[in-house]
Amino acid sequence: MEMEMPESESAQELPSEEEMALIRDIAVSAEAHAKEGDIFFLITNRWWQSWIQYVIQDSAGVTSNGSHQHECSSNTPRRPGAIDNTDLLDDVASEVSSTDIELHDTLVEGRDYILLPQQVWEKLHGWYGGGPMLQRKAINTGLSQTDLAIEVYPLRLQLLLMPKGEEAVIRISKKDTVHELHKKACEVFDLVPDEVFLWDYYGRTKHALMDNLEKTLDDANIQMDQDILVEVTTDANGSLDGGCMSSTQENDYFERSSTWTVDASKSGFSSENLASISYVSRSYSSILVQSQYLRSSNGDLDNVPDTVGVTTRGSSSGLTGLLNLGNTCFMNSAVQCLVHTPEFARYFREDYRCEINWHNPLGMVGELALSFGELLRKLWAPSRTPVSPRPFKTKLSRFAPQFSGYNQHDSQELLAFLLDGLHEDLNRVKHRPYLKSKDADGRSDEEVADEYWANHIARNDSIIVDVCQGQYKSTLVCPICGKVSVTFDPFMYLSLPLQFTSTRSMTIVVFTCDGSAPPTPYTVSVPKQGRCRDLIQALTNACSLRNEERLLIAEIRNHRIHLILEDPVLQLSTIKDDDHLAVYRLPKLEKRASYIQFVHRREDLDQGNNSSSTSWKPYGVPLLAQISRNVTMTGSDIHGMAYKMLLPMLRNQVAQHSAVQSSLSTRTQSYHTDSSKFSLQLIDDSNTVIEHTNYAIRVPQSSLATVIFINWSKSDLKKVNTNHLEHLPEVFKYAPPAKRTRGEPLSLYACLDAFLREEPLVPEEMWYCPRCKEQRQASKKLDLWRLPEVLVIHLKRFSFSRSTKHKLETFVNFPIHDLDLTNYIANKISQRQIYELYAVSNHYGSMASGHYTAYIKLLDENRWYNFDDSHVSAINEEDVKSGAAYVLFYRRVGEPDGAASNRTQLSVKRNHRSSQR
């Protein structure tokens, strides 16, 4: 379905460089004003790349001396023809209108299509014509107005009408309400709205009556390709006809009935392939990125994969890729590592259903195990066609809402959920006994550890435990009474730190209250497990605090003092890296102090008001003054305090001509010079102006009770160096660590040493000492006691703060062969503990816009491959090590191949025989 190019447009061809400049300007404008509800258009990447080649041809044809080569080259790209989006369409799709057109299920942004804002599409379509038009809508996917995504695929829902047994397939936006779904169902089946009730019918089971008509389908946890039961009442009382019908009877209706399928997508743009946009690096901003890339790369368009599948030798299975459904590379990487774990590959390709624990309340009624097993079998099938993980993703979203949607997630977090969820679905223990481990009472570690492990196995027995679980020895020591507590706990994986300094760098700005110095930032080093008194001592030394002075630490939020940190034993770990702290340098007082907080406000012209009235907007860092309680203050006193503190921030001070004249009296005189004269308008919190008089002003006698606003006019604000007030640094500004040279890599063994090092518990994990009968910050020491067949090691590359997540790009030198953990085992067993690497989950780029791949060694070929979503390619072993390595998978070496899995197979058969008796 193509649209003809309008004559008026076709007759006005612009030079290619003007086309590119115009499109870039439109894209930049659209980016700046992006909002929820904006319309975007899909355009085939094939046509888009031909247009990119065409519009940059002049730049590529510029010679070194700046002149153009006028000779026509046979390689010069020609002006593209009409836009042809038919390669994005399903072959069996109806072409009644643009909203009724079905897209291929496996389209990937950047490879198959590009998303363009409406203004860009209209301009290109006006120039070139063609079609069909494939429009989609931007929706809000989070709390912030900037959390936008484009719904490329609507929710596809199966409507099941009862009691007639008719069926229909519709598409609808995940952001549409239940009311809109109800209306659409009535239109499809020609029903009377008052007689229709909708049920969440996931798995052909009534989960919930969808009676909250204002709730969105996203909030109602409705998933792609699930069933919705449409129930019709027939009596006057409004009771549900068939409401007591069993699920079996309901299913019989639909099995007997003929299927009527209709595409009723009139409004929806939901998201199986939810293409997230960050308006910087994705979607239409690729207009800028790609043109710059192509210009610098002489037109090389190979940055976007153009094929799927693999090109590898032989006929080995296990070389099948996974399609990216939209930011699902994190899931694909984790899944590929698990399905290529030999013990799991063998287990799930045999009959494991006899081990499913259908009634485990901690599990997913077997659905996660069945879905994972089905996906694994597809990936190990002889076919090389990439597999769509959509059914597995649907189950995953159902049981783990944190992974719903199509935003970027953490592959390690998914691995942790999968291993735990598969264990619960496959737990051979149907009725868990209650067991309590006994105190050691002088018994040997070996005896106590075996008892803990036996109790664990009595409640947890699955293929996951057989293969992946090991055991820690955990030793806690009370710092007060010396009580020692030893426990032996199971673990599924090791999370190793990549930086383990015992100190912490903190940056804080010090403000003076006597006008002796401008606000000054200090960066100090404090113990990572230190207390507030350590920070005060470090700042005391840094700013040369006098004996008659003291420091007051305050956390600043929203241009006010949010919290004063007065407790000297407060743990510094409670201060986050992205906090903003100000320290006020105050005189020591004999009596208790009251405080006056001066909050800055500047003029904010209200454009929405016809009178253009001026409002006052808070900004900057507040100033703090203190007075002795019960001291009478006047308006002149308060004005004087503010002037005194602001003096060092004034521009063009006359007092600066003599550095030696630094007395308070000299500084005060500078207020009356022409160059720095300004008037302060002080307003109290009741909006009353504080006059410069000797009238007494009552100051409340409680900490920070008095807030006085300094209203700055635009002219007076120019006389102040606002850098001191506006830019309060974070406690710690993250910066990537310096790259290590090849001569000094961080060893995996060093990470393991840091992980097992004794250290005090963090305040959130205080230990209750049974001897002291109180919570204590005990010291904790971990040791490895029992190692699993498959050892999963997570490298902690991400550090967290309140609002951000930073990544460490540290290169870790991990062994591919002969990882020797013999000396790390506290349980001195006779055999050596040697491991071999077989899989790596890699993370490239930042957390927000990163990409995951998997490096996997096929044991039957003894060769490494890169699994990058749908693309699988062979790589050299020396390329496996990189700074992107995130999760490492090791197998124990030394035991005959398959011994552990042989034990598992025997267990499966044993349980299967038991179930048949």
- The DSSP output letter for 565 is -
Question: Which residues have a Cβ under 8 Å from the Cβ of 613 and sit 6 or more positions away?
Answer: 606
912 is written with which tokens?
């299967």
Instruction: Work out whether the CA dihedral 92, 97, 99, 103 comes out positive or negative.
Output: positive
Helix (H, G, I), strand (E, B) or coil at 420: helix
| 358: nearest Cα among 350, 349, 347, 369 | 369
For residue 519, what are the CA distances in angstroms to 576, 612, 667? 22, 35, 16
Question: Which residues have a Cβ under 8 Å from the Cβ of 883 and sit 6 or more positions away?
Answer: 809, 810, 811, 812
Is 543 one of the annotated active-site residues of the chain?
Answer: no
> How would you class 868 by CB atoms within 10 Å of its CB: exposed for 0-12, middle for 13-18, buried for 19 or more?
buried
Cα(740)–Cα(809) distance, integer angstroms: 10
Strands 196-200 and 167-172 come out as unpaired
48 is written with which tokens?
């888009």
Is 329 one of the annotated active-site residues of the chain?
Answer: yes
Active-site residue, selected from the candidate residues 125, 329, 478, 724: 329
- The DSSP output letter for 298 is T
User: How many CA atoms are closer than 13 Å to the CA of 504, on its beta-carbon side?
Assistant: 22
Name the residue with tokens 């009409």: 82
| 815: nearest Cα among 897, 751, 733, 869 | 751
CB 377 within 8 A of CB 348: yes
Question: Which residues have a Cβ under 8 Å from the Cβ of 781 and sit 6 or more positions away?
Answer: 474, 475, 477, 756, 757, 758
Alpha helices by DSSP H, 654-718: 664-669, 714-717
| 323: nearest Cα among 405, 389, 409 | 389
Cα(586)–Cα(616) distance, integer angstroms: 29
Helix (H, G, I), strand (E, B) or coil at 119: helix
Active-site residue, selected from the candidate residues 104, 179, 806, 851: 851
Strands 227-232 and 155-162 come out as parallel
Cα(470)–Cα(452) distance, integer angstroms: 12
Cα(335)–Cα(350) distance, integer angstroms: 18
CB 399 within 8 A of CB 367: yes
Cα(441)–Cα(447) distance, integer angstroms: 11
Cα(705)–Cα(686) distance, integer angstroms: 12
**Virtual torsion, Cα 893, 898, 901, 905, nearest 10 deg:** -160
Strands of 359-455 (E only): list them: none
Task: Tell me how long the chain is.
Answer: 917
The catalytic residue positions are 329, 851
